[in-house]
Amino acid sequence: MLSQKTKYALKALIYLAQQEENHIAKTIDIAEGANIPKKFLEQILLDLKRGHFVSSKQGKLGGYYLIKSKNLITLADIHRLFDGAIALLPCVSLNFYEPCLDCKSEAECGLRLGLIAIRDKTLQAMQNITIASLIGK
């Protein structure tokens, strides 16, 4: 399940992607336009900035804008930034792998093999969903 923070991050990115190219959006405009609490949005935008998805400009005319193409930002990227692993267990995670302490052998674990299949299908779907596709562009 997506966390509320991830959902809000996606909504903020969608809002920014719907603006004219090179448009700088104020935090209050993003909050109102995407229906996100402003205080929560500020932290999300900072995380998106650290993740190199958005940048900001200071000052009276300042705000946030996309620095990564809406065609390249995937649901998988944002999920990993805010919620971590896509896999259901650490032993099947590609980026957050940890061995299971209760398995005799990962190679023979039927549960692990099933969860790898789920991870692969989920990852494939999430990598094919971009911010651009969510806004129909």
Instruction: Quick: pLDDT tens for 45-88.
Output: 999 999 999 999 998 888 999 999 999 999 999 999 999 999 99
Nearest-5° Cα angle at 79, 77 to 81: 70
| pLDDT on residue 88 | 92
Q: Is the pLDDT assigned to residue 14 strictly greater than 90?
A: yes
Q: With CA atoms as reference, report the closest residue to 91 among 73, 75, 109, 74.
A: 109
Q: Where are the beta strands (DSSP E) in 1-137?
A: 54-57, 63-66
Q: Where are the beta strands (DSSP E) in 58-97?
A: 63-66
- Which of the pair, 136 or 34, is modelled with greater confidence? 34
Residue with tokens 């900072």: 46
Determine the Cα–Cα distance for residues 117 and 68; give it in Å rounded to an integer.
30
Determine the Cα–Cα distance for residues 124 and 35; give it in Å rounded to an integer.
29
| pLDDT on residue 108 | 80
Determine the Cα–Cα distance for residues 137 and 59; give it in Å rounded to an integer.
31
Task: Say which residues have a Cβ less than 8 Å from residue 105's Cβ, sequence separation at least 6.
Answer: none
| pLDDT on residue 77 | 97
Say how many CA atoms lie within 13 Å of 43 toward its Cβ: 9
| pLDDT on residue 36 | 97
Share of the chain above pLDDT 70, in %: 99
- Which of the pair, 61 or 26, is modelled with greater confidence? 26
- What mean pLDDT is reported for the chain? 93
| pLDDT on residue 59 | 87
